[in-house]
Amino acid sequence: MDRDQLLEKFRLLPLRAKVRLVVGTVVMVAFAIVFITTNRQEASSRSSRPQPSTPEISQAVYDSAIQEIIAEPQVVEASWGPLSNATLFVSMRDNGSRRDGFAQYLCLLLVQKDIHGTNIRILDAASLSRGDGKLIGEDWCE
């Protein structure tokens, strides 16, 4: 499919679908930017933590975890890091309080699915749309 065909299909989409497509793209780009900028810090902190032995987990388990997290009313978007499933990015609306407790709750959900060794980073959804990626909570799941 060439560029003109793609543009024509995009023009035919309803406005709501166009908005969701653009917002989704912006959020995913912001997640990638945050991941890339924090990759060095994460790598150095990960090397000082003991790595638990985790059995091979299917992609379906990771996908079901994302679906369960997205079903939470406060969550705007959730995504695994672009290079591996070692980092989980979650965007929420910032209400002025830290979301470390919510990150701990998400760790419990992941551990129930036998997913260990995950860094959870909760980001302000509004700042992601501006490209800032303000961190409002985080936790390390053993």
How many H-runs (helices) and E-runs (strands) does the chain carry?
5, 4
Average pLDDT over residues 63-81: 90
Q: What is the rounded CA–CA span in Å between residue 6 and residue 23?
A: 18
Q: What pLDDT sits at residue 46?
A: 47
* Residue 52 pLDDT exceeds 50: no
* Chain segment 73-82, per-residue pLDDT in tens: 999 999 888 7
Task: Tell me if the pTM is above 0.75.
Answer: no
* Chain segment 128-142, per-residue pLDDT in tens: 888 888 999 999 988
